[in-house]
Amino acid sequence: MNRRAFHLLAALSPLKLQTTIAEPSLWSFELQTNRLLLKYNQQLIANYVFNDNTIHRPYFMDLHTAGGTRITRHNPPEPGTEASDHATMHPGLWLAFGRLNGEDYWRNKAKIEHVKFLQSPVIKSNQIHFSVLNAYKSSPDNMRKPDLFEVAEFRWSCSTGGIMLDWNSTITSKTAPLKLGHQEEMGLGLRLSTPLCVKTGQGVLQNSSGGINESGTWGKQAHWWAATMISPGATNKTLRTGIQILARSSNNLQFWGHTRDYGLIVANPTPRPDENKDAIELPIGKPLKMQFRILLFENMKPDLEKWGDSKLPILADL
């Protein structure tokens, strides 16, 4: 096994997820007025945008592999080269809800406001850590005292060729129960770049239940989803590039996929379409806790089932 393959396997293996490489960290970041630029070896990996006048919630955009392959659609979409639908709803990678305590944060009708960094970005052990406090404000004027608060914790780690984001989100209400309405537009969302789309590119959608593409994954319960394509320029057709999303909740909520062949994956923790259930309610003081792992990989034969069985870190691990 060559050095590149060894380090990539160490980064993605369930038994080695906490392993760090001995070489000095190649991570860097730049904190700007409204966003945080994250780079590995001078390659842009993602932008974390925490203040946007048009998109009223924090989100990641411009996700790339360590080798520079774009994973998410441009924000805003590039005219003539990308689909332009849902431009302000699908900025890249985000967490939002169309029906949370009666408010619509997905369609920018209510605002998720970045309050502050609880932990400023820091590089340690070849990783970038940071955490934020977000306030879920009420519509229509967004001037009333926020009803809900979210603590979001992020850890970006890497090895040669592979990138991993661990994301923990805890949403709390002290004044009313948390009510998650049944709707497609709920949860962790991802809008894919054109090459990774089934409809307009060479992409394939998969989930942990064995489903393929929209027809086999939409509305189906799963704990991971992936979008992959043959690596650009690869002569070995088994080498693929793409993204895998793992999701779980400590509230025993079961995720299902709102997945579309035009390039959308949503890990949705609300009632499935076949449950005939309008909402899930958590009592006052009971937080909604969700954990996600996002793997960005390139030019390798993915082992999605093995990676998908990896144990997601508990909050204390980040």
Q: Which residues 6+ apart lie within 8 Å of 316 measured at CB?
A: none
pLDDT at residue number 285 = 86
Question: Residue 3 — very low, low, confident or very high, per pLDDT cuts 50/70/90?
Answer: very low
Tell me, yes or no, whether 239 lies in a domain.
Answer: yes
- Return phi, psi of residue 12, to 5°: -105, -15
Longest pairwise C-alpha distance within the chain: 59
Return the SS3 of 151: strand
- Please list the residues that pair with 30 across neighbouring strands: 37
**How far apart are the C-alpha atoms of 177 and 187, rounded to whole Å?**
18
**CA-CA distances (angstroms) from residue 208 to 11, 24, 165, 243?**
20, 35, 19, 14
42 lies in which domain range?
A: 3-18+32-317
Tell me, yes or no, whether 227 lies in a domain.
Answer: yes
Q: What is the CATH number of the domain that holds 81?
A: 2.70.98
Tell me, yes or no, whether 26 lies in a domain.
Answer: no
H-run or E-run covering 214 = helix 213-217
Return the SS3 of 249: strand
DSSP 103-141: B-TTTTSS-EEEEEEEEEEEEETTEEEEEEEEEEPPTTT
Tell me, yes or no, whether 24 lies in a domain.
Answer: no
Tell me, yes or no, whether 27 lies in a domain.
Answer: no
Tell me, yes or no, whether 149 lies in a domain.
Answer: yes
Tell me, yes or no, whether 257 lies in a domain.
Answer: yes
Q: Which two tokens stand for residue 214?
A: 């929209």
The pLDDT tens digits for 166-221 are: 999 999 998 889 999 999 999 999 999 999 999 999 999 999 999 999 999 999 99
The pLDDT tens digits for 241-267 are: 999 999 999 888 999 999 999 999 999
* Counted domains in the chain: 1
Tell me, yes or no, whether 79 lies in a domain.
Answer: yes
Question: Residue 5 — very low, low, confident or very high, per pLDDT cuts 50/70/90?
Answer: very low
Q: Which residue has the higher pLDDT, 12 or 270?
A: 270
